[in-house]
């Protein structure tokens, strides 16, 4: 998927597509110098904050979609498992952050007995920073970095005051690289299992002008089956008609 990026952001280092493992190792090396020992990077659909409390028929995303997804980037496999473990705990609790709380600004948190109990096994730090970035994502989703450190509260507060801007520039650069080269791999509307592969194929063919009969022939299903998937999508995405559905799908970058 292409993005409308100004030439100023297209620095030479981003024109070469690095493997994800190289990006991960490079970022972790720079974060270690700054005093962090692990990170996770994930994309979150904004509507999940409303979906959690919505009627089942109107719900597109659940926390389980994020908790079981395999698309997060983490500094290690162990860190990835800890992150998913925490999301699994949050899924069963009533402590769900609001979009404004998560995406308004970076947040520094500190491990205490209450936080340790809330995070279960995912408590291998004294302080952490959640850094949200919505630029160059979509109007429908954003990305977050979660960085862990062994710094104590006073040390982290002082460090963040003096080095927070530098950290923000570093994270934004890596975020931009991931969006340029791996955008589809983090797009939650493609990766969190909200739509089946067949449903995605149907909406893509519909967006390319295929009729229900032609789509059915392409995918070896009945025209009635195609109509069923279209109607289900219209309901979930609150589309008025097929044309409106296609416009929404294009906005979500799933066509």
Q: Would you state the torsion angle of the CA atoms of residues 63, 69, 74, 79, taken in this order, to the nearest 10 degrees?
A: 70
DSSP annotation of 110 reads: E
60 Rama sector, left if φ>0, alpha if ψ -120 to 50, beta otherwise:
alpha
CA separation for the pair 127, 148 (Å, rounded) = 6
Q: What is the pLDDT of residues 23-40, one digit of tens each?
A: 999 999 999 999 999 999
pLDDT confidence tier of residue 5, bands split at 50, 70 and 90: very low
163 Rama sector, left if φ>0, alpha if ψ -120 to 50, beta otherwise:
alpha
CA separation for the pair 84, 75 (Å, rounded) = 13
pLDDT confidence tier of residue 96, bands split at 50, 70 and 90: low
Q: Check if the beta carbon of residue 254 is closer than 8 Å to that of residue 199.
A: no
Domains of the chain: 18-191 (3.30.450.80), 197-251 (1.10.10.10)
Q: What is the pLDDT of residues 40-71, one digit of tens each?
A: 999 988 888 778 777 777 778 877 777 777 77
Backbone angles phi, psi at 53, to 5 degrees: -105, 10
- Is 0.75 topped by the overall pTM? yes
Residue 2 has pLDDT above 70, yes or no: no
Q: What is the pLDDT of residues 145-185, one digit of tens each?
A: 999 999 999 999 999 999 999 999 999 999 999 999 999 99
Q: What is the pLDDT of residues 205-242, one digit of tens each?
A: 999 999 999 999 999 999 999 999 999 899 889 999 99
In whole angstroms, what separates CA 16 from the centre of its chain? 23
In whole angstroms, what separates CA 166 from the centre of its chain? 23
């Amino acid at each position: 998927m292409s993005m409308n990026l100004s030439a100023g952001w297209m620095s030479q280092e981003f024109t070469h597509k690095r493997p994800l493992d190289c990006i991960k190792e490079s970022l972790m090396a720079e974060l270690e110098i700054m005093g962090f020992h692990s990170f996770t990077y994930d994309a979150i659909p904004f509507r999940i904050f409303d979906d959690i409390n919505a009627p089942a028929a109107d719900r597109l995303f659940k926390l389980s979609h994020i908790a079981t997804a395999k698309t997060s980037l983490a500094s290690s496999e162990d860190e990835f498992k800890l992150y998913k473990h925490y999301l699994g705990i949050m899924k069963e609790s009533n402590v769900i952050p609001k979009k404004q709380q998560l995406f308004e600004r970076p947040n520094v948190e500190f491990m205490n007995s209450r936080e340790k109990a809330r995070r279960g096994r995912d408590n291998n730090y004294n302080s952490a920073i959640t850094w949200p970035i919505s630029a160059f994502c979509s109007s429908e989703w954003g990305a977050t970095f979660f960085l862990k450190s062994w710094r104590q509260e006073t040390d982290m507060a002082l460090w963040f005051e003096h080095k927070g801007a530098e950290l923000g520039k570093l994270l934004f650069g890596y975020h931009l690289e991931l969006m340029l080269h791996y955008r589809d791999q983090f797009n939650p509307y493609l990766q969190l299992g909200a739509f089946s592969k067949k449903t995605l194929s149907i909406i893509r063919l519909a967006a390319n002008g295929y009729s229900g009969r032609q789509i059915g022939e392409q995918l070896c299903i009945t025209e009635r089956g195609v109509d069923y998937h279209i109607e289900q999508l219209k309901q979930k995405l609150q589309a008025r008609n097929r044309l409106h559905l296609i416009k929404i799908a294009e906005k979500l970058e799933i066509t």
